[in-house]
Structure formats: structure tokens, C-alpha cells
Chains A and B, each alone.
Chain A
Amino acid sequence: MIRYLKVIFFLFLLNTFSYAQETFPINGVKESFKPVYAFINANIIISSEKEIQNGILLIKDNLIIDVDSNLTVPENAIIYDLKGDYIYPSFIDLYSNYGLQKPNKKSSGFGPQYESKKNGPYSWNEAIHPETHASHEFTHNKKDRKKYLEMGFGSVTTHIQDGIFRGSGCLAILSENMENEDVVLDKAATFYSFKKGVSNQRYPTSLMGSIALIKQTLLDSEWYENTQNQTNISLQEYNLNKELPKIFEVKSHLDYARLFKISDEFEIDFIVKGTGKEFLRIDEIKATKFPIITPINFPEDYDVSIPEEAMNINLQDLKNWETAPFNLRILKENDITFTITATDSKDKKSFFKNLSLAIKSGLSEKDALNALTTIPAKLIGVENILGTLEKGKIANFFICSSNIFSKGTIYENWTSGSRNIITKKINTDIRGYYTFNSTDHKNISVSITGEKNQPKILIEAIDSTNLKSKLEENKLTFYSEKGNFRASGNILTNEINGKYQDSTGAFFDYKMIRDSLFIEKEDEIKKLVIKKIPTIWSPNKSNGLQKELKAKTILFKNATLWTNEDLGIIKSADIAISNGKIVAIGESLDTNQIPNYENLDLQILDVKGKHLTTGIIDEHSHIAISNGVNESSQSVTAEVSISDVINPEDHNIFRQIASGVTCSQLLHGSANPIGGQSALIKLRWGKSAEEMKIQNTDGFIKFALGENVKQSNWGSFNTTRFPQTRMGVEQVFYDAFYRAKDYKKNWEKYNSLSTRQKRETDPPREDLELNTLVEILDGKRHITCHSYVESEINMLMHVADSMEFKINTFTHILEGYKVTEKLKNHGAGASTFADWWAYKFEVNDAIPYNASILNNAGVITAINSDDAEMGRRLNQEAAKAIKYGGTSEEDAWKMVTLNPAKLLRLDNKMGSLKVGKDADIVIWSGNPLSIYSKVEQTYIDGICYFDNKDQQLNQDRDLKEKMRIINKLSRSKSKSKIKHKPKKDILYHCDTIEHDHDHDH
């Protein structure tokens, strides 16, 4: 229906828009005559499907009136004989900010801004402004227009590239008419991103905050349609323009899956402005079915001339450099609809260079043309007026010397039937071999060679090097840099004559006659060798996987098993794994004790002398998170979730598998009393974010207390957010849970209504923050609370008891040893540091004996990392419980395995060596608590993700790959090489505060 309406709309437009000026008074005399232009003898590329050789194109006013190989040219037509030049439909760019001011960040004054400062009844958040319409502010820009025309574009969809809900963009023809004529579609699409842009408001500070804000706004817009009691122009405008195509800018190839979750939940289709690195996650991206607008700003060649510096370039960057030109081809081979945008291209040169590189890398010319013309037209529903050179369409086309995808030079780019000259076409070819005569030079020879547009003139009798020259229509000037010869000449057929001047200033007449023509060497017809797509690893960096790993069936013999069960630590025992599970444990196991072993590829490994344990579980980790661990803006951010922003490509995942960690709780930081939801993952290196998540688990959420949430160490400007004291912290919890209870009641009331009553009643507004808190009240989501001193720990248990929920785990809890009884009575567990203290005032009474005291008192106690480095040594951290407080080896080991499994409610499938549990196991060279022991193998779900004996091979492979690409780069002839920029790892702790998340991956 919508499409149909649009078509009508356009037909209407086509009949009228050329008379837009009608409404304007004229200062002067009206020029109303519109001639017919005829382009004859042209190779006309109607579309990728149809080409007319030696054809005629007729245009009048702003429209194509006819095109064919055999047409009658009207008598009064102005004729352009193109003599074999090419005509292409002009390109269309869907992602542009042409003709619009770049928004500036306003100075925010002192202190953080928590509320919107925008006047009027708009969204609560300054990054949400669907009421922005590009057409309201559009005006032509000469410089940018020239840039687009040079690249072959004739129209753009332009929008103000700022904010999360950015408003609408308009479709503009790149002419020089009044905006009323050139804006052919005032609302072509609406635009979105995860970046809050110039908004000074604190929320959102993180990517997960942006995601939550998008979801809440979508919910609110639905709710707003049924409510009468307030005005919100932002929501109103969103609803009004809801049916337009939605274009979403992502900043990472990982964002596709993130966006897909929103798309799936709200049944919204998006067109994605991509990154050009879609090849890194092609299967995942293909599954989203999003059409993609992709830039072609391939990475420039790296400067590898200094060996030490070259080695500092990450293999990841090198591999991306090599594969980027194949991106478009890979998109095509995966049947992904895509268009090309020039928005990230520096200039015309780099645009065409990369376009031709993409074609050399296997993108067909046909697909390239479609991606630049018909596909963008179709995506915004303007295929009936733009995209091809067909009768009735807008006269947007360019004329060029030959195939635009190989060597073609654009001479003219016509927009809305108006001519724009790009490169002056030189028709005369003066090249050849001449005899030169003047009063003081007799019969000397002159050769004119080189390019037709830029001839090289050599007169050896005057100068042994080429003369400088300038060629205009029928005029040639040439001179020697030595200053002894300066000439100008008139070009006739096979003759050039004129005057020259010598160093004394005397003038001489000359004449040169062409004896023979310059014969251009035929370009060696290079066979288009379609290059092979480089292998893409998963992830595409050091230690990436080349093929998918499979679960194994293995019988480990003669190991020392740390069972974490009643069996305790048993020496010289056997354990078998199959199909990702532990299937048998015992002394001298027989193969027939492995179910179905005959049909499985059973491996028997003698691991005599080795210790075999269940995998380490890190209860408190912040690795593998994209763009912000803290939504540090508001005091309550229960709506955000780390599970939306898992980064499966963080190399710390691999480093930790190599250290025996198999499972982690990725926690939100501790910047606010009620933080965000956690993600529980297994460190399945090489898999996607979704695949890393542990299925069918309870939800978790981070709470926090003390100095971090009251912003004690945030500097002197952060003193306005409530709470600033431990007293305020308590009130934040009461307030939140009273709100949650009311909310729950309201929904229960609404849900109990009959269908008819429901129809007559407005539903309560759905609130993501309160939804999460209700989950806590319902016991479906568990709390891990960052805490230090006994007073605050006690306080929160009081709040929880009176509001009828439970604190599942106190994390850090460095003064837990002072409140063991209270913890036990409440039923809370503890996840603590082995020996950290003295980093802030509230940890002055932290003692390394904490874990032992808690454990002895019967509190379920875990030791965690909160740190990417410490996550590699959790076995050592557990061992400290032996030193400090004399915990037994068995109990110490449980602190990093079974106990965190219990705290995360995963102990039914992880945390011990027990038949039926997941085959997450680690083989150690010795006692896992000894500082001298190393991990030899790590299995997750029975898949061997790390094998120390293969590690050298891996490293050799990575080095070989690096050197292969560096060698390739050292042959590069590119002039603008980039110096390498080694990236610093982003490491999060729970008090890492972001002020913005505008960095890319």
C-alpha cells in the first residue's frame, strides 16, 4: 500500500516539480524556453542490463524524453555529438550529509548534564530527535556538490548525521536550482545510530545504554499512539514517519547482530550503513537480511620500511587491509543486497581507485553499477524516477570517455537536465613526429608523445629533457625550464605554428609540420585474473581459528582428578568425555563404560602425572565487552545489558582459555547503585557473541555500593548526581523497588482485565528498567553487588529483606569477614579478591584472610579477577587462600570453580567433575594451585580450545601470515602510506567510566 502511494506521489511530483518556481515572483524577465538536447553517437548504458551502442539520448527540461539507437532528433534540438563517448546513469548515494551543517557540540558548562536542555515538548533525551528533518535545513553547497559530481553522483539522500534517532533525510538532485526543485523527496528515509552525537546529556555513555534507549523509545512510541494525556513531538514524529525506510549506521561488524536483536524484537527492517568490514562476520550479517550501504574507503597501505615498526602492526590490521577490497565481492557472493556510498571516501581519486580495486578483486562491473544506481533507487522507493536512463526519468547522467570502471574519465555530469562540466574534453590529438623550422633552427625534429590530454614534447636540439607544455582547445604553449625557449602555437591539421622567444628576449617565427602520427602502444590486454579471497580466520587475528573445532570423545587415563565432589582429589584415575559432557569417572575405566563408544572416534590419552580439573569460572570479569562497561550516567540503569555488547573477538578470551578459564560472568561496572544486566559466557573462542552465551540460565544484574556509586573519586565536578552519600545510596534502592512494586501492581491489574475492558483501558507504559527490577522481585534475576565495608553490606541486606528480594552475591566484599553471620542468615554468597587492598579509603580494612574466614563460616565463597591480567592467574589467586588463613587445597580450588558455579547457579552443569556435567576441563602440568604448574589443555564442551603443545605452531603460523602480508606491502608503490598506529587494548575494570563511546573497534 505504502509503495503504491509513493508511486502516485511521484507521478504527481514529476508533473509539477519543474514548475516549482511558479510560486516565486521573478526579478527580471522570465526565461521559459526549454530546448531539447540530443546526445548522439553515444554508448548509452541504460542500466546494467541494457546498453545501446551508437545511440541517441533526448532530454528536455529535467527529464529524459527518449533514448534509443534509432531516434528522430527534433529539428530544433541542440545536438551533442559524443563520438563514441559513454553515457551512464548518475550514481545515487543514500548516506550523505550534503547541503547540511555539521552539528556542533555545545559547551556544556561545568558538571555533568543529566536532563535535556532542549526547549519544547520533545523526548527526554537530546540524542532522540526524530523531529529533525534534513529538508528543513537543506541548501546547496558548491564545494561538496563538485566533489559528488566528480565521482559520478547525481543525487544523494542527505541527513544530519547526529544522534541516535536522527530524523529524516531528503533526496536531493545535485543541481543548482532552487531547493524547491532539487529536493525531490522531502522525506526519503529516517536515520539512526548507536552514537549519541553532540548531545551533552550524560545518558547514554555506553553502547549498551544506546541499545536500551532505542528499545525504550520504540516501546514509548507504541505507547504514545494510545495515550492522550501528554504531548511528545519526538514520539509523534517517529510514529508519523514510521513507514519510511530506516537507515541505521553501525560502527562495527559486530553491531549487525546487535541491531538484528532490536529488529527482531520490534519487527523493524533496517538498511544498514556498514563499515566495509562485513567480511569479518559474513554469515552472521547475511542472516540479518539487512541491505547494506557500504563505504569503499579501504585501508591505505601500511609503511613497512622500518622492520621493528612493521612488526608492531597487528596481524589483525594487516589481514583486514588485505581483505577489505574483497568485501563487496563477498557481499555479492552471499546474496546480500548492497549499495556503495562515497561518504567515507576522501576524494574522487580514492573513490575510483578503490572502486576499480573492488572490481579487480572480483566484483562484477554489472554489480558495481547496480550498487550505485538501481539498488539505492529501489531501497528508498524512487526506482521509477532515478537509477536508469529510461524515458520519463530524471535526466541525471554522466558522459565519460570509456568504461567508468576501468579507465573512463568523466567529462560532464548532467543533473536534472543541466550541464556540469567536470573535465574539459580535448578533441585534438597533436601527438606525432614533426619537423621544426625557424630562422635560427633548420629542420630539427620534434616528438610529441604521451597522453592525448597531456602530451610530452621533446626537442633535443633545444633541451635534452621534455619541455613543459599546456594544451588548450586550439592553443599550445611549451617552454624549456632553462629559460632559453618559450613558445606558443596555433594548432592546425598536422601543423603547429607561432612564435618563440629566446633568453635575450628576441622573438622568432616557427612552423612545425607533422611527418607521422604517434602510434599509441596497445595496452597489453591484461587478463583479468580474479584474485583469491584471502582466508578469513575466526576471529581474523592472532590465534584465530581457520576451521571449526569439533567436540571430542576422549578417555583420559591416570590423571590426578580434582573432582570437587565427595571423591575429593583422587590420584591415578580416569575420566571420559563425549558429546561435550563428562560421561564416566573412575579408576581403570574401560572403553565400554563410555556410552556408544563403538560409534565414536575415541581417543585415549595417558595423562599420567598430570592434574585434571574442571574449568575455572570467573565470577567477576570485564573482558570481551564492546564500547563501555559502565552506563555511568544515571543511578539506576537496570535496563542496560552486557549481553547486548559482548565482543567475541577480544584476544583476552584466548589468553584466559590458555590459563584454564572456561566460563565468565561479564559484569556491568560499579558506577551506579543499580547497574546493568550481566552476560554469562563460556569462552568459546572463534564463535559469535550469541554462541558464547550460556543458554537457559537465570539472569544476573550488577548492584554497587560505596565510593564508586557516590562518585567519591570522580573529581570535583561530579558532585550533583544523587546519591553522594551511603545514606543516599540506601534511598536509591528503596525508591527503585517501591517504583517497581507499583509498576508490577499496575500491570497485574491491567492483565487481569477482560479483553473488552483492555480495549477500553490504556495499558500502562512498559518500562525496561522496571521490568528488570520486577524480575528481581520475582526471583528470576539475581544480584551481584559490588561492596566493601560492613555497614553498606548490612544496609543492603536490610533493604532486600524488607522489600522481599535476595542478594545472591556480594562481590569484592572485602570486609565480609566482619559480617559472616549476617551473610549466612540472608543466604548471600561472597566473591572476593585474594589480596587487593589500599587502593581507596574504603578498602583499608581489607584483609587477604577474608576468603578463608568467609569460607570457614560457611558462606559460599569465590575468588574473582575483575581484571584481564589477573584472570590469567586465578589458580594462583585461589592458592593465596591457603597462605592466608590456611584453607585446604580442595576448598581453595573450589573458590575458582564450584563456588562461582554455585553463585552463578550453573552448578547443575559446571563446577565439578561429575558424570553428566559439561566437559569443561583443564589439564595441568602439576598441582593447579602450585605456582609452577601450567595449563596444558583446556576443553569447553568437550572441544579442545587450547593445547599448549600446538601453541608454538600457532605462533609460527601467525608470524608466517604476518610476514606474507608485510612482504606484499613492501612491494606497494602507494605514495600515501600510513604509519602504523598500534592500538592500545581497552581494558575494563568495574570503575572504568566512559565519557563517550565514540571509538571504533
Chain B
Amino acid sequence: MTMTIKKNFLIAVLLISNITYAQKSAIFMGATAHLGNGEKIKNSVISVKDGKIDLVADLSKIRIDPSAFDTIHKVYGKHIYPGFILTNTKLGLTEIDQVRATHDYREAGQINPNINTQIAYNVQSKIIETVRTNGVLLTQVTPQGGIISGQSSVMYLGGWNWEDATCKSNDGIHLRWPSSYYNTGWWGEPGGREKNKKYYERINTITEFLERSYAYYKSDNNMDLKMESMRGLFSGEKNLYLHANYYNDIIDGIHLCKKLNIKKIVLVGGEDAHKAVAVLKKNKIPVIIKRVHRLPKNQDSHIDEPYKQAKILSENKISFAFSYAGDMEAMGSRNLPFTAGTAVAYGLDYEEAIKALTLSTAKILGIDDKLGSLEKGKEATFFISEGDALDMTTNKIESIFIKGKSVSTNNHQTELYEIYKDR
């Protein structure tokens, strides 16, 4: 009994130390502010009041009295960024890849639009702490598998519980477009990639389901959980996340969704997105690109094809976001900033890369009214890094704020480090 009490007490203390309430107002002086909208202010001043950004300005151009603020952060020479946003991820729905009991990302069945990730989001995940401390403060928690996997929600990487950590519930439905090719064999013994004979059969399943959903949307019915979840796609409240990679699949998917009255489409994956620029532009479809740190699609692909894709989309004014889906997805997503760094190495403008990690993504997810950039009136969800956050040699996160509250920069790993470093 005493043991339990002690343990609970310890947990409570840890949680409190993790998120402490900032004072009512604060000022950050002297950092290079990467606003997230493509602009930067080299010697900036940012003030925060009641969890919201109150002022963003060039320190050399305005006069300000720091003593008027409850806290003064002198951050000269450092960098301040809006919280980076991770998309299309199972972070928070899984803890250890090889331990099935820790998996909460794939429901049984093929069509599950009513599945809602937000309530399974484990905000206390040890992985989340380690991702947050590299600058990722928001994540689109996404269900996996099937044809329609369910709905994602946008969550903060911090909070007391999932409710507290919710930024936006059910931002969209994830449709996994059939691949016109599939891989034979199994992971240990991959066979060739074969043409998917069930491609059109699958598309028929999707078509029929979307048609029924639209009919339901237009009529007054008894509650049908699945159909009800689809409503937002026709009213424009929810995004349809179209997961497709091959050029033909992308084109087929977009055309079908357009035809079936879906208002907002976001392409996810899009390994061939740079080949489908015209269609994406015409239909104003943003792209959540596949992890930049991936191998080229096949042996004939240019060796730097994955690194250059972001630049091509940017040049063509196609809005895009970064993601880290794939192997080692949850734990590896702390490298999201560095994937953007690699895209910069291969020609993407630096502030455009920041924009893709912040405001562009916020727009795609429909949270740009309160997040995504350092602008007056938006939430104070940002972090300060000692140096350039896109380069691992300088990404050192000194402080993190979520909704104006300071969040701990410690995690399970830094704790072990502290214990063992000077043993």
C-alpha cells in the first residue's frame, strides 16, 4: 500500500515537472525567428500573453520595455521556430515494434472510417518525449492498414491526457489507394513486384462505398457509424487523405475522388508526385511526401531522387508537408527536422523547408488559424534551439512551449544519460 502511494506520488511529481505553467506574459529577445510563413527575422522580439503570441517584431526596429513582462528570455544568437508538425504517423499509438501488446494502430477489417485515433493516443509515450525534444510539437496521429483505415487527429506532443493533448479531432479520413503493383514474397524473402490483378476490384469497392456515403450525406437516416464519419468529406470539413505512390495510382485516385464529390483531397506518400505536378496543381492538391530519407524507387531512379522531390514540388508551388512513415516510424520521427535539412541540401529554400514543417502543414490539417507560424494571435507553441534546428550538429532544443506553457526538455534517454555519463 505504502509502495503504491509512493509510486503515485513520484509520478505526479514527474508530471508536474514536465509541464509547468508559464507566467502570464513573457518576452523572447534576440533570437533569429523563423516565422513559418517563409520569412525570418534575424534579431527578433516575440512576446507571449495568456498562451498566445502578442507581438512579433524586429528588435532593432521597435522600442520595448522588457520589465513590463513577467519573464524575460534573452535568446540572442539562438533560433526560434514554430513547433514542427509531424504528419501521417503512428507515433503515440505504438511503443515497441516487436511487442504486439503495445500496438494500437491497425483495426480489423478493410473499411473503418469511424475509427478515431485520438482516444488511443498515449501522450505519456516514452517515444513522444524523445521526438518533442528535437522540435516536433504536433503530430497527425494516423490509423494504418485496410482500404479506409480511419480518421486521424492532430495532437500535441505533450499534455495531461489525450483530451488535453488534442489539437484537432478527426481532421480527415485515410484512404489507402490500391497499388497497381504489389510485392510478392514476405519481408524475409521478397519476390518480384507484380501487377495487382485486384486493382480494379479494389477501386470498385472504394467507388461503391463512396457513392453510398454520398447518398447518406444527402439524406436523413438512422445512425450508421461508418457513413456518419464520411459526412465531413462531402461538406468539406474533413480532408480525404489519399495514400498513393505510383503515378497511375495517383491520377486514378484523384480523378475518382473528384468525381465522387469529395471536397478536399490531400495526397499522401506520392513517391511519383513530382511526375504528377500538372494534375496536383490544377486540382490544388497538397502532398504529404514520403520520408526524404528513403532509397530511390527502383534501380534506375536517380540516386538523389528522394532528396530532390521537395524542391521540385516547391518550385511548382505545390503545398507539401514532411512525414516519416515507414520502418522505425515512431522512434525515427525525431529525425523529421533532418529530413527537411537534407531537402535543403538538395536545393529547397531553407525558409520554405521550415514552412513545410509548420505553416503549410497547419494549412493542410486545418489548424492554421491558431498554429503553424509565429504571428500575433496564434498559439505560443514553439521552441528555441541553440542553433539551426535542421542540422543535427546544431539542433539543441533549449526550451519548448506548448500553448504558452513551458514543457520539459528531458526524456527517458536524457535521464539515463545523466545517470550514466560520469559514472
B417's closest neighbor in chain A, by CB? Answer: A849
Among A841, A868, A880, A962, the residue within 8 A (CB) of B98 is A841
Complex CA gap A610/B338 in Å reads 22
Contacts A835-B335, A847-B413, A869-B295; A882 near B421 (Cβ below 8 A): no
Contacts A654-B303, A818-B420; A931 near B331 (Cβ below 8 A): no
Interface membership of A993, Cβ < 8 A: yes
Q: Smallest Cβ distance from B323 to chain A, in angstroms?
A: 16
Chain A residues in 8 Å Cβ range of B298: 312, 314, 982-983, 985
Chain A residues in 8 Å Cβ range of B393: 879, 882-883, 889, 929-931
Q: Smallest Cβ distance from A716 to chain B, in angstroms?
A: 11
Complex CA gap A309/B390 in Å reads 37
Q: Which of B330, B335, B417 has the most CB of A within 10 A?
A: B417
Evaluate contact between B335 and A955: CB separation under 8 angstroms. Answer: no
Evaluate contact between B192 and A982: CB separation under 8 angstroms. Answer: yes
Interface membership of B181, Cβ < 8 A: yes
Among A658, A839, A983, A985, the residue within 8 A (CB) of B303 is A658
Q: Smallest Cβ distance from A659 to chain B, in angstroms?
A: 9
Evaluate contact between B188 and A994: CB separation under 8 angstroms. Answer: yes
Interface membership of B344, Cβ < 8 A: yes
Evaluate contact between A314 and B299: CB separation under 8 angstroms. Answer: yes
Among B181, B334, B341, B413, the residue within 8 A (CB) of A849 is B413
Interface membership of B392, Cβ < 8 A: yes
Among A309, A541, A995, the residue within 8 A (CB) of B189 is A995
Interface membership of B290, Cβ < 8 A: no
Write the B338-360 contact mask toward A (1 if CB under 8 angstroms, else 0): 10011011100000000000000
Evaluate contact between B181 and A982: CB separation under 8 angstroms. Answer: yes
Within 8 A of B (CB), among A143-172: none
Chain B residues in 8 Å Cβ range of A418: none
Within 8 A of A (CB), among B189-213: 189-195
Contacts A836-B328, A841-B98, A984-B192; A308 near B299 (Cβ below 8 A): no
Evaluate contact between B195 and A981: CB separation under 8 angstroms. Answer: yes
Complex CA gap A876/B292 in Å reads 14
Interface membership of B377, Cβ < 8 A: no
Evaluate contact between A839 and B331: CB separation under 8 angstroms. Answer: yes
Evaluate contact between A882 and B295: CB separation under 8 angstroms. Answer: no
Q: Which of B193, B300, B417 has the most CB of A within 10 A?
A: B300
Evaluate contact between B391 and A932: CB separation under 8 angstroms. Answer: yes
Contacts A839-B96, A869-B293, A981-B192; A876 near B338 (Cβ below 8 A): yes
A649's closest neighbor in chain B, by CB? Answer: B299
Q: Smallest Cβ distance from A477 to chain B, in angstroms?
A: 43
Interface membership of A51, Cβ < 8 A: no
A628's closest neighbor in chain B, by CB? Answer: B189
A997's closest neighbor in chain B, by CB? Answer: B189
Chain B residues in 8 Å Cβ range of A929: 393
Evaluate contact between B193 and A845: CB separation under 8 angstroms. Answer: no
Evaluate contact between B420 and A931: CB separation under 8 angstroms. Answer: no
Give the interface size bracket for B toward A: 35 or more
A309's closest neighbor in chain B, by CB? Answer: B248
Complex CA gap A373/B98 in Å reads 59
Evaluate contact between A542 and B299: CB separation under 8 angstroms. Answer: yes
Interface membership of B14, Cβ < 8 A: no
Evaluate contact between B421 and A849: CB separation under 8 angstroms. Answer: yes
A869's closest neighbor in chain B, by CB? Answer: B295
Evaluate contact between B98 and A314: CB separation under 8 angstroms. Answer: no
Within 8 A of B (CB), among A421-464: none
Interface membership of B284, Cβ < 8 A: no
Q: Which of B334, B346, B421 has the most CB of A within 10 A?
A: B421
Evaluate contact between A930 and B98: CB separation under 8 angstroms. Answer: no
Interface membership of B214, Cβ < 8 A: no
Evaluate contact between A817 and B420: CB separation under 8 angstroms. Answer: yes
Q: Smallest Cβ distance from B192 to chain A, in angstroms?
A: 5
Within 8 A of B (CB), among A947-979: 951, 955, 958, 962, 979
Chain A residues in 8 Å Cβ range of B300: 314-315, 541-542, 958, 962
A632's closest neighbor in chain B, by CB? Answer: B188
Complex CA gap A817/B417 in Å reads 9
Evaluate contact between A655 and B344: CB separation under 8 angstroms. Answer: no
Interface membership of B54, Cβ < 8 A: no
Contacts A654-B303, A838-B96, A984-B190; A845 near B338 (Cβ below 8 A): no
Write the B367-403 contact mask toward A (1 if CB under 8 angstroms, else 0): 0000000000000000000000011111110000000
Q: Smallest Cβ distance from B101 to chain A, in angstroms?
A: 10
Evaluate contact between B195 and A840: CB separation under 8 angstroms. Answer: no
Evaluate contact between A999 and B185: CB separation under 8 angstroms. Answer: yes
Evaluate contact between B342 and A839: CB separation under 8 angstroms. Answer: no
Evaluate contact between A933 and B345: CB separation under 8 angstroms. Answer: yes
Evaluate contact between A981 and B194: CB separation under 8 angstroms. Answer: yes
Interface membership of B416, Cβ < 8 A: yes
Evaluate contact between B96 and A981: CB separation under 8 angstroms. Answer: no
Chain B residues in 8 Å Cβ range of A316: 299
A992's closest neighbor in chain B, by CB? Answer: B188
Write the B155-183 contact mask toward A (1 if CB under 8 angstroms, else 0): 00000000000000000000000000101
Q: Smallest Cβ distance from A173 to chain B, in angstroms?
A: 39
Complex CA gap A70/B334 in Å reads 91
Complex CA gap A127/B331 in Å reads 43
Interface membership of A996, Cβ < 8 A: yes
Complex CA gap A78/B282 in Å reads 83
Q: Which of B189, B191, B192, B335 has the most CB of A within 10 A?
A: B189
Chain A residues in 8 Å Cβ range of B299: 314-316, 541-542, 651, 983, 985
Interface membership of A848, Cβ < 8 A: yes
Complex CA gap A713/B345 in Å reads 38
Evaluate contact between B328 and A839: CB separation under 8 angstroms. Answer: yes
Within 8 A of A (CB), among B285-329: 293-296, 298-300, 302-303, 328
Evaluate contact between B193 and A839: CB separation under 8 angstroms. Answer: no
Q: Which of B127, B302, B393 has the most CB of A within 10 A?
A: B393
Interface membership of B247, Cβ < 8 A: yes
Q: Which of A655, A883, A929 has the most CB of B within 10 A?
A: A883
Interface membership of A746, Cβ < 8 A: no
Q: Smallest Cβ distance from A286 to chain B, in angstroms?
A: 27
Chain B residues in 8 Å Cβ range of A315: 299-300
Chain B residues in 8 Å Cβ range of A541: 299-300
Q: Smallest Cβ distance from A564 to chain B, in angstroms?
A: 18
Interface membership of B237, Cβ < 8 A: no
Evaluate contact between A879 and B345: CB separation under 8 angstroms. Answer: no
Evaluate contact between B416 and A979: CB separation under 8 angstroms. Answer: no
Q: Smallest Cβ distance from B322 to chain A, in angstroms?
A: 14
Chain B residues in 8 Å Cβ range of A994: 188-189
Q: Smallest Cβ distance from A559 to chain B, in angstroms?
A: 20
Chain A residues in 8 Å Cβ range of B303: 543, 654-655, 658, 951
Q: Smallest Cβ distance from A922 to chain B, in angstroms?
A: 15
Interface membership of B95, Cβ < 8 A: yes
Interface membership of A934, Cβ < 8 A: yes
Complex CA gap A982/B331 in Å reads 31
Write the A579-613 contact mask toward B (1 if CB under 8 angstroms, else 0): 00000000000000000000000000000000000
Q: Smallest Cβ distance from A649 to chain B, in angstroms?
A: 10
Evaluate contact between B328 and A931: CB separation under 8 angstroms. Answer: no
Interface membership of A240, Cβ < 8 A: no
Interface membership of A853, Cβ < 8 A: yes
Evaluate contact between A999 and B189: CB separation under 8 angstroms. Answer: yes
Q: Smallest Cβ distance from B395 to chain A, in angstroms?
A: 6
Evaluate contact between B413 and A999: CB separation under 8 angstroms. Answer: no
21 CB-based A-B contacts, threshold 8 Å: A308-B247, A541-B300, A651-B299, A652-B295, A655-B296, A713-B98, A839-B331, A841-B98, A848-B413, A853-B420, A876-B392, A882-B392, A882-B393, A883-B394, A930-B391, A931-B342, A934-B345, A982-B298, A994-B189, A995-B188, A996-B189
Name A residues whose Cβ lies closer than 8 Å to a Cβ of B: 308-309, 312, 314-316, 541-543, 651-652, 654-655, 658, 707, 712-713, 817-818, 820, 835-841, 844-845, 847-849, 853, 856, 868-870, 872-873, 876, 879-880, 882-885, 889, 929-934, 951, 955, 958, 962, 979, 981-987, 992-997, 999
Given A847-B417, A873-B293, A984-B192, 4 further pairs, Cβ under 8 A: A839-B96, A879-B391, A930-B393, A983-B299
